[in-house]
Structure 1
Amino acid sequence: MLPTASPPTSEQRILAAVRALPYGQVAGYGAIARRAGLPGRARMVARVLAHNNDPGLPWHRVLRSDGHIAFPAGSSGWEEQIRRLQAEGVQVNNGKVRMPLAEDTLDAAFWAPR
C-alpha cells in the first residue's frame, strides 16, 4: 500500500492562501481565512503571519478588513508594509488601502456586473 498523505494543516492552508494573492492585490485577514477554508478565523491568520519567517511570503498583501495596516502607525513594520505595497503599485493613504469588494457574499453574487 502507498502511504497516504496527511491533509494540510490549518497553518499550511493559510500560508497557501497568502501565497496565492496576486502581485499588487490585497485581502483582509478574514478573506484569507475563508480562502483557506477557515471562515471566522481571521485572528488565526494574524497569528500565523506574525510567527512566519519565510522572507518570500507576501505577508504585506494582508490587511485589516477596513483596509488599514495592522501594525502601529509609524512602526518599522508599518513602514515596511507601506514600502512593499507601494513597490507593487498599491496606493496607500495614511496607512490605508482601498480593499476589493467581498467576493464570496450573497450581495456580491447578486449585485455583481454580468
Structure 2
Amino acid sequence: MARMDECELPELPEYAERVLDVTERIPPGRVLTYGDVAEWLDAGGPRQVGRVMALYGAAVPWWRVVRADGVLLAGHELRALEQYHAEGTPLRDAGRATAGHVQRIDMRRARWDGGAR
C-alpha cells in the first residue's frame, strides 16, 4: 500500500493558481476570454491560460473563460450551455459559419469588464 504522501497531488503551479483565482471572480452570466485572463494577470497569453484551464479548470466555473469569438468549447457544448442558460449568460445564434453549434456567446453583452480589481 502506498504511503499517504506518495498519493498526494503535486502542488499547483503559481500561474495556475492565479488563473483559477481570476476565473472564480467572474460573476455568473458573464465571461472573460483566455486573452482577457492573461491580460488581467499581465502574464502569459491565451494559450497558457487555455492550458491551465484544460489541466486544472474542472474545480472552477470553467465555462466562464471562453474563446474570443464566443464559440463554445468543442466537446463541452452541452454542459456549457446548461450553465449559460442557468446563469442567464447572453447567447446568440451561431449562424452557418459555425457548423455544429446552435448558439454561441454574445460577447458584446456577456464579456465582463473586470469590475473593481
TM-score, structure 2 normalization:
0.67
Unmatched tracts of structure 1, length 5 or more? 1-7, 105-114
The aligned residue for residue 16 of structure 2 is 11
2: distance between equivalents of 1:89 and 1:23? Answer: 8
Unmatched tracts of structure 2, length 5 or more? 1-12, 94-101
Give per-residue Cα distances to partners, 1:50-103, cap 9 Å, x unaligned: 112644x110111101111131xxx3x111011111110013332311114685
Q: Does 2:38 correspond to 1:33?
A: yes
Q: 1:102–1:86: structure 2 CA closer, same or farther, 3 Å change rule?
A: closer
**Residues 16, 56 of structure 2: 8 Å contact kept:** no
1: distance between equivalents of 2:70 and 2:15? Answer: 24
2: distance between equivalents of 1:13 and 1:63? Answer: 17
- Which of residues 65, 68, 73 is equivalent to 1:70? 73
- Please state which structure has a larger fraction of its residues in strand: 2
The aligned residue for residue 96 of structure 1 is 104
Q: 1:84–1:33: structure 2 CA closer, same or farther, 3 Å change rule?
A: same
Q: What is the alpha-carbon root mean square deviation over aligned residues? A: 2.3
Q: Does 2:58 correspond to 1:59?
A: no
The aligned residue for residue 98 of structure 2 is none
2: distance between equivalents of 1:22 and 1:70? Answer: 19
Q: 1:37–1:64: structure 2 CA closer, same or farther, 3 Å change rule?
A: same
The one of the two structures with greater contact order (alpha-carbon pairs below 8 A, sep at least 6) is 2
Secondary structure at the counterpart of residue 103 of structure 2: coil
2: distance between equivalents of 1:82 and 1:48? Answer: 21
